[in-house]
Chain A
Amino acid sequence: EAGVTQSPTHLIKTRGQQATLRCSPISGHTSVYWYQQALGLGLQFLLWYDEGEERNRGNFPPRFSGRQFPNYSSELNVNALELEDSALYLCASSLGQGSTEAFFGQGTRLTVV
């Protein structure tokens, strides 16, 4: 069974540009979580989608946004990129509300120059 897949693996952008990161959850999973992991820091919660709806967001500015598609895949968009946005962006999926175990993809390494 395929795990959580993220694309691209690496992404290099210039300050001020926009970045789009993609995530495909495990088959049958309806919840998708996005986390940011800056170098040397812990996982910071960004966004949670379930059944196509945004259920919660972390303490990040509005230029971090996303959506979940009918097939439960998800996009994370980061507008007006800043150097501090350079990090590993991780997507995790779970069976949905009522299920607690989340499984992660390998991440997208975003570098802003």
Chain B
Amino acid sequence: EDQVTQSPEALRLQEGESSSLNCSYTVSGLRGLFWYRQDPGKGPEFLFTLYSAGEEKEKERLKATLTKKESFLHITAPKPEDSATYLCARSSGGSYIPTFGRGTSLIVHP
């Protein structure tokens, strides 16, 4: 069974205080590892896809990395507008269906 576990559940940062979010996933048959951002009451916004260990992708203050067992979303010098829930998901070779973790709720204080 596909498993995606995110930590921490919640994270409070001061503006400018860099940090990382963690996503652990079951390894077998990984087809893609995804990161999304979700604002309250809205649909998830696609951020990144990672396919293989060692891959990295960046977008503004966000950088996603992938190892054989984990993915990290690094947030550099965050701003209050980065406050959101960040979701990690994976799809496996058999079904393509993205399976989601519970998310990390990030609050950035000014």
Contacts and interface: CB of A to CB of B under 8 A. Distances in A.
Given A43-B100, A45-B97, A101 B41 contact: no
B87 interface: yes
Interface in A65-113: 88, 90, 92, 94, 97-107, 109
A104 B95 contact: no
A109 B41 CA distance: 8
B105 to A, nearest CB: 10
A43 B87 contact: yes
Contacts of B34: 100-102
Contact of A42 (B41, B46, B103): B103
A106 B38 CA distance: 10
B26 interface: no
Given A43-B87, A88-B41, A101-B34, A33 B46 contact: no
A93 to B, nearest CB: 11
A20 interface: no
7 closest Cβ pairs, A-B complex? A100-B32, A104-B43, A43-B100, A42-B102, A106-B43, A104-B44, A107-B43
A14 interface: no
Contacts of B32: 100-101
A101 B44 CA distance: 12
B41 A104 contact: no
Interface string B8-20: 0000000000000
Nearest to A88: B41
A107 B102 contact: no
Nearest to B100: A43
Nearest to B99: A45
A47 B6 CA distance: 23
